[in-house]
Chain A
Amino acid sequence: MNDEDLETLLRRYRPLGPPEALRGQIMAAVPLSDPRLRDWFPAVAAVILAVVFSWLAGVERQRLSASLVAPIEQHTPLDYEEPLR
């Protein structure tokens, strides 16, 4: 029997195929989110934090300016009265 005949004999067989469950196992191990999007998460999170803190600072500035009393009027020299002697 030459190589060709032996190959013909072997080709009557083929390696076993994968179990049905293998596809499911692989899909279960795949993360749901796209890794390409995951790369952008830190940048997007930083932008969102910057916007939120900027808005909070604005709100706080408004609250403070509303609660502060009006500045005390300055006494001019004309208002000054000589004390009685």
Chain B
Amino acid sequence: MTRRPLDGTPADWIGRAYDRHGAGLYRYALMLLGDTASAADAVQQVFVALVGRGRGSANIDDEGRYLRRAVRNECFSALRRRRREISVVADSRPLVEPVDRVCVDPELRAAVDEALRTLPSEQREVVHLKVFEGMTFQEIANLSGESINTVASRYRYAMDKLRAQLQVPK
């Protein structure tokens, strides 16, 4: 639990917050929204709103958790708007990149990317937080406001779908 005083100008403290959390928040937004432009918009919205919050953000105990929740809210708002407007997002950029560039199998990468894209946002969110960010079901439940059983079910469905998509035997 750390308090982060707003030292300096807004540009100073927003810059520091972005350097600490920006990349992780963008990756989370990308996995929720499925396209790079919307993910960038969501992260930008959150940081601009943080400036508007001004003095209030000095009392944020856990900056990372606060920002992650804010990005989540922004992404689900964007998804609701997208459903209302029945807009189709076409993004040719992949969702994932290999961690180790030495052993890259382009076909497997494309298959993982495609498999992740077929998941509903809620399931993709759980996979992202559990697999890529190493969070526990309890932590994911706290973030999403869902019960731990719901989170675990989403994970189970997601893993079954991924297994089927990647055509690997159980």
Binding site for B on A (CB under 8 A): 1-3, 5-7, 9-19, 22-23, 25-27, 29-36, 38-39
> Within residues 127 to 160 of chain B, which ones have a CB less than 8 A from any CB in chain A?
127-128, 130-132, 159
Known contacts A1-B168, A32-B9, A39-B55: does B30 contact A15 (CB below 8 Å)?
yes
Query: Which of B14, B98, B109, B163 contacts A6 (CB under 8 A)?
Result: B163
Q: Are B132 and A15 in contact (CB under 8 A)?
A: yes
How many residue pairs at the A-B interface have CB separations less than 8 Å? Answer: 123
- Give chain A residues whose Cβ lies under 8 Å from the Cβ of B95: 15-16
Q: Which of B45-53, B61-69, B72-80 contacts A (4 or more CB under 8 A)?
A: B45-53
Sample of 18 more A-B contacts, CB < 8 Å, known A31-B51, A36-B55: A1-B170, A6-B159, A9-B112, A9-B168, A12-B98, A12-B103, A15-B95, A16-B93, A16-B96, A17-B27, A18-B40, A22-B26, A23-B19, A26-B22, A27-B15, A27-B18, A34-B54, A39-B54
| Nearest CB on A from B103, distance (A) | 8
Binding site for A on B (CB under 8 A): 6, 9-11, 14-15, 18-19, 22-23, 26-28, 30-31, 36, 39-40, 43-44, 47-48, 51-52, 54-55, 93-100, 103, 109, 112, 127-128, 130-132, 159, 162-163, 166, 168-170
The 30 listed contacts between A and B (C-beta, < 8 Å) are: A1-B163, A1-B170, A2-B170, A3-B159, A6-B159, A6-B163, A6-B166, A7-B131, A10-B112, A10-B162, A12-B100, A14-B97, A15-B97, A16-B94, A17-B23, A17-B27, A18-B26, A19-B36, A22-B22, A23-B18, A26-B14, A27-B14, A29-B47, A30-B11, A30-B14, A30-B47, A30-B48, A31-B10, A34-B6, A34-B10
Q: Complex Cα distance A23/B169, Å? A: 42
Query: Please, which residue of chain A has its CB at the minimum distance from the CB of B124?
Result: A15
Query: Which of B6, B44, B97 contacts A26 (CB under 8 A)?
Result: B44
- Give chain A residues whose Cβ lies under 8 Å from the Cβ of B9: 32-34
| Nearest CB on A from B163, distance (A) | 6
Chain B facing A: main interface SS: helix
- Give chain A residues whose Cβ lies under 8 Å from the Cβ of B130: 7
Query: Please, which residue of chain B has its CB at the minimum distance from the CB of A2?
Result: B170
- Give chain B residues whose Cβ lies under 8 Å from the Cβ of A18: 22-23, 26-27, 39-40, 43
